[in-house]
Amino acid sequence: MVRTFMEGSKAVAEVIKLCRPNVIAAYPITPQTHISEELAQMVANGELKAEYVTVESEFAAASVVLGASATGARTYTATSSQGLLLMTEVLFSISGMRLPVVMTCANRAVSSPINIWNDQQDSISVRDAGWIQLYAEDIQEASDLQIQAFRIAEHPEVILPVMACMDGFILTHAYEPVDLIEQEEADAFLPPYQPQYYLTPKNPITFGAMLGPESYMESRCQLDRALRGSAKIIEEVAQEFKKRFGRFQGALIDTYFIEDAEIVLVAMGSVISTIKEAIDLLRAEGTKVGLLKVRCFRPFPREAINRALVGAKEVLVLDRAFSPSSGGVLTTEVRAAFQGMERAPEIKGHIVGLGGREMNIETILNIVKDRRAVGREDRFVDLKEALLS
């Protein structure tokens, strides 16, 4: 293990290198670009023996890794925002064919208006694509997620694509000390990919067949079951990672001061670190506040969330993405998790930090302070009324 001070994108690229992907295809888009540039340089330097395909679009990037993965290769791509949406059709095709592609999504707002800064509208908008979605809280976790992502994706009981999400700029462009594992450690944790089915003349099979009304639904149901079943493996992989490398930042969820908490904040991504600091301040004042970090958004960890929030009176969800006219997506799903339960906390939704709008400790403290003002409708936090008139 070596601790190095480095940029988030570089840390991610270093770990991807350790994962020995056979094929990488990516297309530049801020804030993902540094990751794919770093990998291109590693290949150019001969440090990483992979085919790096300079595709003409994200749509092609996703299609290239689809084809490569179906041929039995370990594949990687990375993107953000518009790039992810351009891939949408292919994302469904990849999961539908059960291909263990790994992608890093450097989360960014979605146009229009164009905005290159961070929120999570991109990955949340493709939540139904059938991919596992994991969200990192800091650079260390973002880099650790990458190798875990391959382990999970390629696990014989899973065989599904994984999207490792990290907040754009906040995690991709910031510098932090990062512990990087060594190549031998990585190889021991992540053995070569051994596909059960792949394109080869030795066993000529058909991928991507057409299914009619008599069987399509079962195929979709199998995808649903596989995604649900992956929760167990995500848990196991996080535990094994902890055992080997001593680091654990949650599996499906993580918690902070939740045991006796009356008020629990729920969030995903880099805002978690800010919330933890705010909680330290509030706890010092005697407020019983805790945190539930949703690390895994797909499969949606309904039971883990129920269990974690069972003692809370008030739950304040922070959303970095929303469904216009409906509300914060995480809020909606956390609420749904309590549907039909005898005891449910009061759940309030907060839409925060869209398009890079600053969120600091003050923002979190105010959310806790102003919580009574929030009703059934999710609240857009820190709106500038002057701009709305």
Partner 1 sequence: MEKHLFLAGHTACYGCGEALGARLVVDAAGPNIITTDATGCLEVFSSRWPQSAWAVPFIHSLFENSAAVASGIEVALRAMGRQEEAKVIAQGGDGGTADIGLQCLSGMLERGHDVLYVCYDNEAYMNTGVQRSGLTPYDSDTRTSPFGRASWGNRYRKKDMPAIAAAHGAPYIATASVAYPKDLQAKVKKALNIVGPKYLQVHVPCPLGWKSDPALTIKVAKLAVETGLYPIFEMENGVVTKVRKISSPKPVTEYLKLQGRFAHLFKKSGGEEEIKKIQQIADENIRKYGLLSETAAAKVSAEKE
- Supply the DSSP symbol for 250: -
Residues forming beta bridges with residue 162, ordered by sequence position = 102, 132
Q: Which is nearer to partner 1, 139 or 190 (CB)?
A: 190
CB of 43 to partner 1, least distance (A): 11
Complex with partner 1: residue 68 or 351, whichever CB lies closer: 68
- Minimum CB–partner distance for residue 218 and partner 1 (Å): 11
Burial of 1-29, coded b for 16+ CB within 10 Å and e otherwise, reads eeeeebbbbbbbbbbbbbbbbbbbbbbeb
**From the CB of 187, what's the least distance to partner 1, in Å?**
17
The Cα 111–Cα 236 span in angstroms is 38
Q: Which is nearer to partner 1, 69 or 274 (CB)?
A: 69
Which of 93, 270 has the CB closer to partner 1? Answer: 93
Give dist(CA 70, CA 75) in Å, integer.
10
User: What is the rounded CA–CA span in Å between residue 166 and residue 28?
Assistant: 16
> Cβ 347 to partner 1, closest distance in Å?
39
In the complex, least distance from residue 87 CB atom to partner 1, rounded to whole angstroms: 10
Q: Residue 71 or residue 255: which is nearer to partner 1 going by CB?
A: 71
- Which phi and psi (to 5°) does residue 297 adopt? -90, -30
Select 114 or 211, whichever has its Cβ closest to partner 1: 211
By beta-carbon proximity to partner 1, the closer residue of 175 and 216 is: 216
H or E segment to which residue 349 belongs: strand 346-351
* Structure-token match 């939704």, residue found: 349
Q: Which of 329, 268, 265 has its CA nearest to residue 296?
A: 268
Q: How far apart are CA 172 and CA 35, in angstroms?
A: 8
Contact 248, 242 (CB under 8 A): yes
How far is 134 from 161, CA to CA, in rounded Å? 11
User: Residue 48 in contact with residue 39, Cβ under 8 Å?
Assistant: yes
Q: Which residues bind partner 1 (CB under 8 A)?
A: 22-23, 25, 49-51, 53-57, 59-60, 63-73, 75, 89-90, 93, 97, 199-212, 215
Residue 93 to residue 113: CA distance in whole angstroms: 29
Cβ-based nearer residue to partner 1, 57 or 239: 57
How many CB atoms are closer than 10 A to CB 309?
Answer: 25
Comparing CB distances to partner 1, the nearer of 66 and 109 is 66
Q: Are 196 and 295 within 8 A, CB to CB? A: no
| Residue 50 C-beta: closest distance to partner 1, Å | 6
For the CB of residue 114, give the shortest distance to partner 1 in the complex, in Å. 22
Question: Least CB distance from residue 370 to partner 1, whole Å?
Answer: 47
Kindly report the three-state secondary structure assignment for every residue of 260-275.
Answer: CCCEEEEECCCHHHHH
What tokens appear for 340 in the block?
């039909």
Minimal distance in Å, beta carbon 142 to partner 1? 25
Residue 282: both structure tokens together: 């509030």
